[in-house]
Structure 1
């Protein structure tokens, strides 16, 4: 896969993970998509934050929403866009320069290669090694799946509720005489 340099990037349904890379004296991002690979002059956390804004929210709002919805306080998975199932989790503290952001939707399988390394097989059958314990990756995957499930349940509940409100039968007319504003009698039906 050839590495293409880009100036702007928003996380999308093809994004598998974003990892930091030292580029000169700065931290850039290597972005791995299903069929592409990019180099961005922004840090992974900056890309996550900008992507939240691109989809109409902000990072802190997403963090706070996750805390309230599922109660996690550290290494919180982030919903970038629930309609596109963009749920990403950090491998370490998001503020750490080593933090990698992984899409929960693309992970197929995790394999422990040694106590501090995990091989992740993605749905496109590509695999990459991450400098994180398998247990940590599994915990983060579970957290992201929990967040995804809770959020999608709420969205589906509201869709069902809206459908019911739009589909319910029209109110039946009362059989007694109708009054307009309680003063004038409207034409009697009999």
Structure 2
């Protein structure tokens, strides 16, 4: 399936991955992979992630800071775009780099080494992508995202246990 060019895009629960692709003249584009379609956008993946975070009243830097506060992850941290919709993504390399791809945690079926330095990721809809990182790194990112999800969801579940005095205490 060849990508279709689009001008607008919104990350949803059906978004599988945002894959950075370099053009012959050095610009980074995004191949958006969704459960039923693939299309290309003329911006780098982290910009799309930032726009999605802003749609849900945050930003990519804010989500990265939140991940650090919740789970302590500082390098290649996974993020939540929408906790209520279960939209969690992890980066393949530093999110500061324009060639960083983002993978949806919820849609990974399996992954396998292509040559030790590249990994094929198969999604729940049967489609797949190849990313230029090791399978060990993908395994680590999947595990870290699962841990972050657990910690965040547990925190939200138990947040109703705090009283107004306990919340105000650090500000007194």
Q: Which residue of 1 aligns with 2:48?
A: 47
What pairs up with 1:74-89 in 2 under 5 angstroms?
74-89=75-90
Equivalenced residues, count: 161
Provide the TM-score with structure 1 as the length reference.
0.79
* Equivalent residue, structure 2, for 1:4: 4
Mapped pair 1:29 → 2:26: no
Alpha-carbon displacement from aligned partner over 1:154-190 (angstroms, at most 9, x marks no partner) = 222346x59xxxxxxxxxxxxxxxxxxxxxxxxxxxx
| Aligned residues of 2:28 and 2:99 also touching (Cα < 8 A) | no
Q: Deviations over 1:19-49 (max 9, x none)?
A: 1122463221110001111111111010000
Find out whether 1:14 has 2:47 as its counterpart: no
Unaligned stretches of 5+ residues in structure 2: 163-172
Could you say what secondary structure the match of 2:81 adopts?
Answer: strand
2: CA distance between counterparts of 1:115 and 1:135?
9
Q: Work out which structure has the larger RCO, using CA pairs closer than 8 Å and 6 or more positions apart in sequence.
A: 2
Shift of 1:106: 0.5
Q: Deviations over 1:90-131 (max 9, x none)?
A: 111112233110001101111122210111111112222221
- The 4+ residue runs of structure 1 with deviation greater than 3 A are none
| Cα distance, 1:2 vs structure 2 | 4.1
TM-score by length of 2: 0.87
Map of 1:185 onto structure 2 = none
